Amino acid sequence: MNNPLDNLSGYADRPFPFVMRYLRRRLGSHLAILLAVVAAVACSVGTQYGVKYLVDALSAGPAHSGGVWLAFIFLISLIASDVLLWRIASWTASFTFVGVTGDLRRDIFRHLTGHAPSYFVDRLPGMLASRITAIAYPGSVLVSEEVKEAASNGYRWSFAGERRLKGIDGRVRLFRVRAEEDET
């Protein structure tokens, strides 16, 4: 059964639900990042109080040397926690944000082409695009038949012939594309 939220067109005027869609997919990782950043900021602010506590302990004199060591350990603990929490947040983010980018790219591929990325495994889209771009005249837009079929209305198409392209099996049907002019 199709989920109505799988249609990315439904998010065209709703950026907040669009972002929330990807946050929900990796909720645990995003919460870990948020908690680590908030705790790191709390440690950064707490470090200022740790310095004040250390200065107060130092000004108490040599009779209170135990308080100096306690204040010093408190300050070092806050600094170490701050650094550790930022590292945890960045390490978690490095995996999470790459994963979200992959999710987004897969969804955009499905939306734009009607096919999952696995559709392109045998079709080598990057190489195909590179070969087509290399033979296009400057200032012209040349596309394959698959792009023409996937594109929406609003374009004029003219057949540009079939070509053999290096690394691509068979002949590729090519089309020139132009935007339709408004006749108002």
Confidence band, pLDDT 50/70/90 cuts, at residue 183? very low
Q: Is the pTM of this model over 0.85?
A: no
Question: Given this model, what pLDDT does residue 92 score?
Answer: 95
H or E segment at 157?
A: strand 155-164
3-state secondary structure of 128: helix
- Report the b/e string of 82-104 with b at 16+ CB within 10 A: beebbebbeebbeebeeebeeee
Please tell me the distance from the alpha carbon of residue 39 to that of residue 138, in angstroms, as a whole number.
Answer: 54
Return the closest-CA partner of residue 165 out of 137, 129, 115: 129
Please tell me the distance from the alpha carbon of residue 123 to that of residue 66, in angstroms, as a whole number.
Answer: 72
Please tell me the distance from the alpha carbon of residue 51 to that of residue 95, in angstroms, as a whole number.
Answer: 35
Max CA-CA distance within the chain? 93
Average pLDDT over residues 84-112: 87
Angle, vertex CA 131, rays to CA 130 and CA 134, nearest 5: 85
Q: Which of 6-15, 51-60, 142-151, 172-181 has the lowest mean pLDDT?
A: 6-15
Task: Write the pLDDT tens digit of every residue in 12-70.
Answer: 678 888 888 888 999 999 999 999 999 999 999 999 999 999 999 889 877 777 788 89
Question: Given this model, what pLDDT does residue 115 score?
Answer: 55
